[in-house]
Amino acid sequence: MLRFTLILIILYSSTLKSQNQPKIEKDSIISLDEVIIKSNTILGSKFVAKNRTGAAYYFSTEELGQFDYADINRALSKIPGINLFEEDGFGLRPNISIRGTSPERSSKIAIMEDGILISPAPYSASSAYYFPSVARMQAMEVLKGSSQIQYGPYTTGGAINFVSTEIPDSFAGKVTTSYGSFQTGQLHATIGDSVKNFGYMLEYLNFNSDGFKSLGNNLNTGFDINEITSKIRYKTPNHIKEKQSFEFKFHHYDEISNETYLGLTESDFEKTPHLRYAASEKDKMDAEHIQYLFKHEINFSERFKISSNFYHNGFKRNWYKLDDVVFDGSSQKISKIISNPSQYSGHVSVVKGALDSDSSLKVKANNREYVSRGAQTKLDYHWYGKNNSFNDLEIGFRFHYDEEDRFQWEDIYNINNLFMSLETYGDKGSQGNRISSANTFASYIMYKYKLKGFTISPGIRYESIKMSRDDFGKLNPLRNPTDVSSRENKVSVFIPGIGFNYTINNKLSIFSGIHKGFSPPGNSVGQKAEESINLEAGVRFSVNKFNAELIAYQNDYSNLLGNDLAASGGTGELDPFNAGEALVNGLEVLVFSDLVENKNLKIPFLFSYTLTNAKFLSDFGSTQDIWGVVSNGDRIPYISKHKLSSTISLQTIKFQLHLNANYNGKFSTIADGSVEIPSYFTLDASLMYKLTNAVTFKSRILNILDESYAVSRAPAGLRPGHPFGVYAGFEIKF
C-alpha cells in the first residue's frame, strides 16, 4: 500500500509544479573542479578518475542506468581488478575482492555510502551482512592502490563509495518499475526540489522476488526489501561571505529473505542445480538497517573549505538457519556433510527429507545487533605557487565507535514427510552471548603538487584502534556483570603512500604508486594486524578512437589475516587468525571507445581483463573449509586467475540496446586446489525505448544463454548463479 500511495503523491505533486529536470553532466554529479570537496564523493566524475595518481573507476548515473542492475555483482563485473563470488543469485550479500584481498563477505575492503563506512561494524565485525542497494544509487566510485589511503581502515585492496540520490537543484522526480521472471518486482520512486535556500529529496525502493530455487510445496525462496530515504538541506543566502550548507539524511531498510547457507552435493547439483533441500525450510533472514547522517560544509574562501559528517548506523538481523544435523547420535556441521556426502550418507538423507527423523535438525538463530557511529571532518586548502603550480593540502580526522552484540540460540526440529516441525526452543544466549567493540581514531594528511603535466601525491594515514570483547557466557542470558570474560587488543599504525602521474600529452600519461596495506586485527590479546607493501604502475593512452588503461600491481603481505566466518565454512566465531606471508600480483586492462559517434548513432564499446596471481607463501592450518591445510605456493581460494568483461551498445535518439558478456575463470575453493568451481560465461542484454520525453520503456534479459553454472561451494555446498530471466517496465521522469 505504501508504494502506491507514494506514486499518487508524486504524480499529484508533478501536476502542481512541473519543470525540466536539472541538467546533469553525463559522467559527473559535480563540476570538474581541481579539488573534490563534497563530503559524499571521493571522485565525482570520470575526468577525476582518469587523472588520479592511482587506479580508479567512476560509474556515472548514465552508466548505472544502462542495465538498471539491482545485483551489485553484475554492476562491478566490468571493473578490472575486482574478483567476486556470488551467493544468492540476486546480489543481496556480495563477496568482493579488490586486488586479491580475501573476498568473504567483502570484509577486507572499505565500503562506504556518501563517504561514510557502511558495513554493520567496520572495525569489530566488518563482514558486510548489510550492503547498499545499487538500484538507488546515483553514482558508484571505486579506488584501488595508492589512491585510496584516505579511506581506511582497509587500505590493501581498495575502497568502494556509493553516492546516493542527491537533492536536485529544481523540482524533479522519477518513477521506475520492473516486473518479470520468478515474480520479481522492483519499484523505485524519487521526488525532490530546491527553493531558494532549502532543498529536499524523498525516495522509496522496493525489490522483491519469489526466488528461482525450488523448495517442497512451492515454498517461497525469495525476498522482500523496502527502503526509504529522505534528505533535507539548507544553504546560507548568497550575500553571506562564508557560504555554508547543512544537510540531514535519514535512511531505513528492512529485509525478509528466505535465504539459506545450505547448498547442494555435487551429484544433486548436476541433476537439479536450482533445488533447495527440505531441511532448509525454516531458513530466513530478518534484517533492519537505519541511518542518520548530518553533513555540514563551509567555504571560508575559494581556497579553504571544511566538510564534516556526524553519523549513526544501526543494524539488526536474525539469520535463522540450519547449522547442524544429527544422525545416529552424531552431530555434524552442514558444510562437512554436504562436502562429504558418501561419508555422511545418513545425515544427507535427513537433510533431503528422505529419512524421517526426530530431534535431528539444529537451527541456529544468529541474532545480532550492530552499532556504528562517529564524526569525521575533512579540511582542504589549495593554492597556486610559482610557475602556476597547483598545490592542495587535505587533512582528515575521524572518531568512530562500533560494536557487534551477539545473543544467539539454537532450536531443535524434527523432519517428517519432507516438512519440519519444532521440537524444543533453545536457551537464549546459549550459542553466543557477547559484545565485541572498537574505539578508534583515524587521521590522514594528503598533499598534491601539480606542475604542468607532472603530479605527485604523498600522504600518510594514522589509525589508533582499541578492540574489546565482553563474553557473558552461555549460561548468563541476563548478562550478570560478575560473570563476564573480557579481553582487549590495541594497535596503532602509520600508513604511508605516494602516487605519481605524468601527462606526456593529451593522448598519453603514466602513473605509479607505493603504499602500505593494512587491515585491523581482532580482539585477541597481542594479535597482529594484516600488513603489506603494495606497488602499482600504469599507463593511460589514446590511439585514434580507442582509449586504454593498463596497470600492473603487486601486494606483498608480511602477515595475511583470515577470518573465521560461517559464510566461508568456518565456525562463525569471526576471530581473525594469522596466515603468514602471501603474494598477490596481476594485470588490469581497460579499453573503451566510441566505435561510431555522430548525431544519429553512437556505438560505445568497453572491454576489461583482470589477471590475478594470489598465492600463500607460508605453511599453516585453519578451521575454515575454504582454506584448510595450506602449503607454500597454494593459491588463495575464491579468486579467479582470469576474468573478462565486454559491453557494446547501440544508441540512437530514441533507442538503446546494450549487450554485456562476462567470463569468470575457474577458481579453487580450498587452498590446495583439489576442489574447484569451473569457469562460466554469462550474457546479458538491455533494451530502452523512449516513448516520450518523459516516458521510457525498459527491458533486460539476464543469462540469455540460460547457462546453469556454479558460483560457489561456500557456505555449505554448491550454489547456482541466476538462470535465464526477463524483466520489463517503465521509467517516468518529471
CA distances from 692 to 11, 730, 733 (A): 17, 11, 10
pLDDT of res. 29:
56
Q: Which is more confident, 626 or 553?
A: 553
Say if strands 158-164 and 110-113 run parallel, antiparallel, or are unpaired: parallel
Q: Which is more confident, 37 or 473?
A: 473
**Segment 567-576 mean pLDDT:** 55
Q: Note the pLDDT tens digit of each residue in 353-411.
A: 999 999 999 999 999 999 999 999 999 999 999 889 999 999 999 999 999 999 999 99
pLDDT of res. 623:
58
Q: Do 476 and 430 meet the contact criterion of CB atoms below 8 Å apart?
A: no
Domain boundaries, the chain: 2-187+198-733
**Segment 128-149 mean pLDDT:** 90
In sequence order, which residues have a C-beta less than 8 Å from that of residue 562 and are 6 or more positions away? 102, 576, 577, 579, 622, 624, 627
Reported confidence tier of residue 495, pLDDT bands at 50, 70, 90:
very high
Sign of the Cα torsion 135, 138, 142, 148 reads: negative
Let me know if 678 is exposed, middle or buried by CB neighbors in 10 A (0-12, 13-18, 19+).
exposed
pLDDT of res. 24:
37
Calculate what percentage of the chain has a pLDDT beyond 70.
Answer: 92
Write down the pTM of the prediction.
0.92
Spell out the SS3 assignment of 84-104. EECCCCCCCCCEEEECCCCCH
pLDDT of res. 146:
74
At 121, give phi and psi (nearest 5°): -145, 85
Q: Which is more confident, 71 or 1?
A: 71
**Short-list 667, 680, 678, 588, CA closest to 635:** 667
Reported confidence tier of residue 68, pLDDT bands at 50, 70, 90:
confident
Spell out the SS3 assignment of 156-189. CCEEEEEEECCCCCCCEEEEEEEEEHHHEEEEEE
Reported confidence tier of residue 622, pLDDT bands at 50, 70, 90:
low
In CATH terms, the fold of domain 2-187+198-733 is: Maltoporin; Chain A (2.40.170)
What letter represents residue 590's amino acid?
A: L
Angle 209-210-211 from CA coordinates, rounded to 5°? 90
The grid coordinates listed for 2 are: 505504501
pLDDT of res. 22:
36
**Short-list 182, 189, 190, 261, CA closest to 224:** 182
Q: Which is more confident, 488 or 41?
A: 488
d(CA 528, CA 559): 8
Q: Which is more confident, 622 or 643?
A: 643
Residue 576 has pLDDT above 70, yes or no: no
b/e burial code for range 408-422 (CB count within 10 A of at least 16 → b): bbbbbbbbeebebee
Let me know if 565 is exposed, middle or buried by CB neighbors in 10 A (0-12, 13-18, 19+).
buried
Reported confidence tier of residue 5, pLDDT bands at 50, 70, 90:
very low
Q: Note the pLDDT tens digit of each residue in 529-540.
A: 999 999 999 999
Q: Which is more confident, 718 or 483?
A: 718
Sign of the Cα torsion 573, 576, 579, 583 reads: positive
pLDDT of res. 3:
44
Residue 639 has pLDDT above 70, yes or no: yes
At 706, give phi and psi (nearest 5°): 55, 45
Residue 99 has pLDDT above 70, yes or no: yes
pLDDT of res. 11:
38
pLDDT of res. 4:
37
Q: Note the pLDDT tens digit of each residue in 252-289.
A: 999 999 999 999 999 999 999 999 999 999 999 999 99
**Segment 96-121 mean pLDDT:** 95
d(CA 58, CA 56): 7
